[in-house]
Amino acid sequence: EAQVTQNPRYLITVTGKKLTVTCSQNMNHEYMSWYRQDPGLGLRQIYYSMNVEVTDKGDVPEGYKVSRKEKRNFPLILESPSPNQTSLYFCASSLSIYDRGGNQPQHFGDGTRLSIL
């Protein structure tokens, strides 16, 4: 089954304790992205990756890191989490945006709810 898998689904942690949210897709997609969803703000893009070893900042990258060492994985790293990073996080993937000019729909994981105390 084609899917985007995020782990963990839920996490409660404390300020300053490094954490990683994993994201894996089995569709051989070139493009991957991370979003955060907050009430009244919709989805905001954190980072995206056009392909392996290629990453770029989205609208709200501060406090986050990503890496794309393999095509299927795109982990989100919070080196020193703070309470304002409490949110619902989504990973998504799609075929290359250079393929037919970027009109490929994205496939989303089921989300990771992070609470940082």
Partner 1 sequence: AQSVAQPEDQVNVAEGNPLTVKCTYSVSGNPYLFWYVQYPNRGLQFLLKYITGDNLVKGSYGFEAEFNKSQTSFHLKKPSALVSDSALYFCAVRWRSQGNLIFGKGTKLSVKP
Closer by beta carbon to partner 1, 40 or else 62? 40
How far apart are alpha carbons 89 and 44 in whole angstroms? Answer: 10
Site for partner 1 in 1-40 (CB under 8 A): 4, 31, 33, 35, 40
Q: Which residues make Cβ contacts (< 8 Å) with residue 105, sequence separation at least 6?
A: 94
Q: Does 53 bind partner 1 (CB under 8 A)?
A: no
Contact 94, 29 (CB under 8 A): yes
- Tell me which of 8, 16, 83, 102 binds partner 1, using CB under 8 A: 102
Which residues in this chain contact partner 1 in the complex, by CB under 8 A? 4, 31, 33, 35, 40-45, 48, 50, 56, 58-59, 90, 92, 97-98, 101-103, 105-111
